[in-house]
Amino acid sequence: MVREVDDGVLLLDTESDQIHQLNHTASFIWSRWDQAKSIEEIAALLAKEFEVDEELAARDVTEMLTRLRALNLVVEDVAAASESRLSEGS
């Protein structure tokens, strides 16, 4: 279950009975996960929205998706392959 709040999103994880609060940046990343074709695409959108460097945005997206995956709040898909390419380049 998802509820938008003033400064982000609340996610109710019914499997673990936990509520996760995502700030504005994390909410932006989470909400684009299903729509984007790659992590690079999400990073480009994030960089434009928040007026930051795309390299910094890519690191933030990768880090946030790693956290969301660990909490089982996102499901693996095509974008995961993009993340593998990013981490191999580091």
5: DSSP letter: E
Sole residue written with tokens 């499997």: 15
pLDDT by residue for the chain (90 residues), tens only, comes to 888 888 889 998 888 899 999 999 999 999 898 888 899 999 999 999 999 999 999 999 999 999 998 988 887 664 454 555 455 555
**Pairwise CA distance, residues 34 & 54, whole Å:** 20
Note the pLDDT of residue 89.
55
Contact 80, 34 (CB under 8 A): no
Note the pLDDT of residue 48.
97
Q: What is the pTM of this model?
A: 0.75
Residue whose C-alpha is closest to residue 25's, from 56, 1, 59, 49: 49
DSSP string of 48-68, one letter each residue: HHHT--HHHHHHHHHHHHHHH
- Give residue limits of the domains in the chain: 24-88
